[in-house]
């Protein structure tokens, strides 16, 4: 074991959904900590520039096709990832989607798209990668949740259902696989500006409203997640499993609290 508990040198990490957004930040953080990468997208060709960026950090990088709504795609990806490196040590289960609508406007198709991607896809990617991890007696699985894993918000009913499901599923998988040396945790970001919610951050009034309810008085920046993902991927977290780590600036201390007037 390295004297640096956060050193990932010699480790191989899969990060799903790395064509854009937080997935790329997770991958960069792990690469800077020493890990080699497997990057995924529904179209691997879109990953070429980012794959070159990871290699420029001195790490090995392989780009693979993965559609988390297809069981066949998941099985093929898992076999290709293992064949490329021999062993996968870390999985960051990041691929996801969202459709923002009032609950009365959510269609059957909307519900299926979100739940099949965020919940079913997360489970079967974890299952596929865990088979090899269990054989090797070691693994770190990090499922990406959300502040909606623990809080409900208007316009996010299916998304919240999917992320709440990820939190509960994480605990079950941790209980299933802990005896095999595989830890499973949920990393739950708060309000971060991503491609999915970019339009909301164009509303200055909404941003001000949000910041008033975050104890640290600002939305999250992507690099605020670097330490958390490296921690959960490393030996520093070896006795932590089944947990949800909220990186949210403290909004879950009471996001609906009223502003108290100064006396």
pLDDT tens digits, one per residue of 219-248: 999 999 999 999 999 999 999 999 999 999
Average pLDDT of span 51-73: 97
- Higher per-residue confidence, 252 vs 16: 16
What average pLDDT does the chain have? 93
Question: Nearest 5°: phi and psi at 259?
Answer: -70, 125
Token pair for residue 188?
């739950």
Residue numbers annotated as active site: 159
Q: What is the pLDDT of residues 66-118, one digit of tens each?
A: 999 999 999 999 999 999 999 999 999 999 999 999 999 999 999 999 999 99
pLDDT at position 261 is 34
Label residue 198 by pLDDT band (50, 70, 90). Answer: confident
Domain ranges of the chain: 12-193+222-248
pLDDT at position 1 is 52
Q: Is the confidence at residue 23, as pLDDT, over 70?
A: yes
> Are 50 and 39 a contacting pair, CB within 8 Å?
yes
Task: Give CA–CA dist 51/54, Å, rounded.
Answer: 5
Q: Is the confidence at residue 255, as pLDDT, over 90?
A: no
Average pLDDT of span 246-254: 91
Which spans in 43-99 are helix H?
48-56, 71-85
The DSSP-derived string for 113-139 is HHHIIIIIHHHHHHHHHHHHHHHHT-E
Token pair for residue 163?
């992320």
Residue 102, Cβ density class (10 Å: 0-12 exposed, 13-18 middle, ≥19 buried): exposed
pLDDT at position 181 is 98
Q: What is the pLDDT of residues 150-171, one digit of tens each?
A: 988 888 999 999 999 999 999 9
Residue 244, beta-bridge partner list: 186
Architecture in CATH for domain 12-193+222-248: 3-Layer(aba) Sandwich (3.40)
């Amino acid at each position: 074991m390295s004297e640096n508990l956060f050193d990932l040198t010699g480790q191989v990490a899969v990060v799903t959904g790395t064509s854009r957004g937080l997935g790329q930040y997770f991958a960069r953080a792990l690469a800077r900590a020493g890990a080699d990468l497997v990057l995924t997208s529904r179209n691997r060709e879109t990953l070429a520039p980012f794959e070159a960026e990871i290699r420029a950090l001195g790490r090995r990088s392989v780009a693979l096709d993965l559609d988390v709504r297809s069981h066949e795609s998941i099985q093929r990806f898992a076999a290709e990832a293992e064949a490329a490196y021999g062993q996968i040590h870390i999985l960051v289960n990041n691929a996801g989607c969202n459709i923002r609508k009032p609950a009365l406007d959510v269609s059957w198709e909307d519900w299926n798209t979100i739940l099949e991607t965020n919940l079913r896809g997360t489970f079967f990617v974890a299952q596929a990668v865990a088979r090899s991890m269990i054989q090797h007696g070691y693994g770190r699985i990090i499922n990406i949740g959300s502040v909606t894993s623990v809080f409900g918000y208007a316009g996010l009913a299916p998304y919240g259902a999917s992320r709440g499901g990820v939190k509960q599923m994480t605990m079950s998988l941790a209980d299933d696989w802990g005896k095999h040396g595989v830890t499973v945790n949920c990393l739950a970001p708060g309000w971060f500006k991503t491609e999915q919610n970019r339009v909301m951050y164009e509303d200055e009034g909404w941003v001000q409203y949000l910041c008033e309810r975050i104890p640290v008085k600002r939305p999250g920046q992507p690099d605020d997640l670097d330490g958390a993902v490296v921690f959960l991927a490393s030996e520093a977290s070896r006795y932590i499993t089944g947990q949800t780590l909220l990186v949210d600036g403290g909004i879950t201390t009471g996001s609906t609290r009223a502003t108290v007037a100064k006396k």
